[in-house]
């Protein structure tokens, strides 16, 4: 696929048109086959790999959630007006966010410091998913603990941390594209041999 800047506005529009990617109430939300095909189609329309489109979408969605949290800070906290170019366009997600008060150490009293904190609607399902992800992460961590590739990638972290969020996402995209290119070339070589 062509090496060009991803059109974020078009990506947001395409995701908005495909409710199964963001609305848990959609009948196809849990159908991974449908979602995979949708991401593939979006990637083709944007002329990028579907993984890159999906990763950029996660970045945009997470940024939107952070902006919503900023808006809901208690008054007097000096919150500035939101100045993010995609904020209004991402407004379709607002109904899929739910405010979740967290409990403090004192029984029966809610902790005010997390007021207005927003999360994607999930309830107990999210807790199960997070537990499974943590377990998967631990297994992966043990598997790659002594891998030279793992340590080589870790060496990039301090460099990436110096970049802006936007530049970090661009760097990640380039790394993913490069890895995909190598994999495709290896597959072609194996088929020929």
Local confidence band at 88 (pLDDT 50, 70, 90 cut-offs): confident
pLDDT tens digits, 11-56? 999 999 999 999 888 999 999 999 999 999 999 999 998 999 999 9
- Which residue has better confidence, 115 or 56? 56
pLDDT the model gives residue 179: 87
User: Does pLDDT of 117 surpass 60?
Assistant: no
Residue 75 has pLDDT above 50, yes or no: yes
Q: At 63, list the tokens.
A: 């940024």
d(CA 18, CA 57): 13
Residue 126 near residue 120, CB atoms below 8 Å: yes
pLDDT tens per residue across span 145-193: 666 777 778 788 888 888 898 898 898 899 989 988 888 888 887 766 5
In angstroms, how far is the first alpha carbon of the chain from the final one? 25
Domain boundaries, the chain: 1-93
In DSSP notation, 1-41 reads -------HHHHHHHHHH-GGGT-TTSTTTT-HHHHHHHHHH
């Amino acid at each position: 696929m062509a090496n060009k800047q991803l059109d974020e506005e078009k990506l947001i529009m395409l995701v908005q048109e495909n409710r199964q990617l963001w609305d848990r109430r959609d009948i196809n939300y849990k159908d991974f086959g449908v979602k995979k095909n949708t991401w593939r189609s979006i990637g083709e329309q944007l002329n990028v790999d579907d993984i890159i489109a999906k990763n950029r979408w996660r970045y945009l969605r997470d940024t939107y959630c952070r902006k919503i949290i900023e808006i809901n800070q208690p008054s007097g906290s000096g919150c500035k007006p939101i100045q993010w170019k995609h904020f209004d366009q991402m407004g379709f997600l607002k109904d899929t966010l739910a405010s979740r008060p967290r409990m403090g150490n004192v029984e029966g009293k809610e902790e005010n410091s997390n007021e207005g904190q927003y999360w994607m609607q999930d309830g107990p399902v999210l807790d199960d998913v997070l537990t499974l992800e943590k377990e998967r992460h631990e297994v992966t961590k043990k598997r790659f603990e002594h891998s030279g590739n793992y340590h080589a990638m870790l060496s990039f972290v301090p460099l990436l941390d110096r970049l802006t969020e936007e530049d970090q996402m661009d760097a990640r995209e380039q790394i993913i594209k490069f890895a995909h290119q190598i994999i495709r070339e290896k597959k072609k070589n194996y088929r020929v041999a």
